Amino acid sequence: MNEELYSKWAQCQKFILDNIGESRFNTWFAKTNALKIEDDAITLQVPSNFFVEKYEDDFLPLIHAALKKSFGRPLQIFYELQVLSGVKESNVIIGESHRSKAVGSKIERARHANSAANKGASSNIDSQLNPVYNFENYCTGHSNILAMTIAQNIADHPRNNNFNPFFLYGDVGVGKTHLIQAIGIRVKEQNPDSKVLYTTAREFQHLYSQAAIKKTIPQFINWFMQMDVLLMDDLQEIAGKVGTTEALFPIFNHLHQNGKQLVFTCDRPPMELDGIADRLIDRFKWGLTERLPRPDAELRRKILKFKAVKNGLDISDEVISYIADNAVNSVRELEGIVMGVMTRAINRNAEISVDLAKEVMKNTVKIVEKRPVNFEMIVETVAEHFNLNPDALFSKNRMRDVNDARQVIMYLSHKLTGLSSTVIGRKLNRQHGTVLHGIAAIRERLNLMPDLAKSIEAIEADLA
């Protein structure tokens, strides 16, 4: 850069700094240089294509004003960037009309022309995946089969699916981390050169903080933009972290626009996230949001049997039922109980019994003596939950809220009391076939309607 160009570009930067403040200037302009000026055009060297987009979206009038003030005349802007970091041959020049198809094709051709230089780059990326968290080790039941099916579809078709982003939410310990890591493991199995990264939101926040201190935020953003699949766990951890969420926004945009898969987990759905900009919340809703509920009784038994076999334990159905009926909170809780039972059985050279399970669980699980549940209790509890008159549930009333509550009674009576569908129908003044339809309808809607699933969980908790 000749001295005159250097001096005038420094004046431009000073003008921009005065208008946007030091923090934004350091993020977006400190690393930009003026390479050359020819006739009425100036070429700026920028770290990545995202800077071109950012300049034209947010800063173009300001940059033009700064150039005119420093150079004394309007200047057309061109940007020079490296499509592949460190590979000079991949340099491309982009004009202000960079969104045109011609320029997009030029960039794409540059990427393909340098694919050999980029080949093997994924080997430098530690995916941070735990091989234990694969699909083969993931137990499924009615409560989580839909989430599992979606995850497998994403893993098998990471560049060709409608679930981007995939936003998975649920309580602590229900298996979210296992499921999203399984996606990454499957992708790497099928395509070892894929750039897959699993990270927690807290780790992302830490890396951003380090980048902010070192003034390397553009490089931080650029590195995440290289990923083919980005898996981010516990998204709620960055709520209120303005700088971190600002950095995630361009990463999300770049990956999504280029057909790269994004997967997030959280303890709540996007609409309940506070402290994150609305524009980012809106993007989380672009793909598919799915709730991963607490494991139901069937799934808890399946998990316990799987863990027992894997650890070489001989656990009777009686012990498994006792644990499954009382440890209802999470998969993680079940795993801890299995390990505790195994350790005590080995140390004492004793058989695994209900008493041994009780001993392990007494300090970790609140054992509630369950009262027998009958049909009348279910009707009363459901009516109270839906704020209905119990008499309406036995009438010919076909209003939506009444019919929904009636189907919930059918479902819970079948599940909790052991009554046959014929008996349930007789009690509700309904036909046998109507009861079967109601039970099937609730089962199907449980996987599609998180609010209904929460309502049934609450009713079951009240009944217990």
Q: At what angle are helices 375-385 and 400-416 packed, to 10 degrees?
A: 140
Dist CA 151 CA 118 (whole Å): 28
Following CA atoms 378, 384, 386, 388 in sequence, which dihedral angle do they give, to the nearest 10 degrees? 100
Neighbours of 360 (CB within 10 A): 22
Q: How far apart are CA 333 and CA 455, in angstroms?
A: 23
Q: What is the pLDDT of residue 113?
A: 35
pLDDT at 227: 92
pLDDT digits (tens, 9 = 90+) for 255-292: 998 889 999 999 889 988 888 888 889 889 888 898 88
pTM over 0.75: no
Q: What is the pLDDT of residue 95?
A: 60
Tens digits of residue pLDDT in 348-380 = 777 788 888 787 777 776 655 556 788 888 988
Provide the pLDDT for residue 233.
92
Give pLDDT < 70 ranges for the chain.
Answer: 1, 49, 82-124, 161, 311, 365-371, 464
Residue 408's SS3 state is: helix
Burial (CB count <10 Å: 0-12, 13-18, 19+), residue 239? middle
**Predicted pLDDT at 114:** 38
pLDDT at 88: 52
Q: Which of 460, 450, 451 is nearest to 381 (CA)?
A: 460
pLDDT given at position 87:
45
- Cα pseudo-dihedral 412, 414, 419, 420, rounded to 10: 150
pLDDT at 183: 94
pLDDT at 453: 83
DSSP string across 181-221: HHHHHHHHHH-TTS-EEEEEHHHHHHHHHHHHHHT-HHHHH
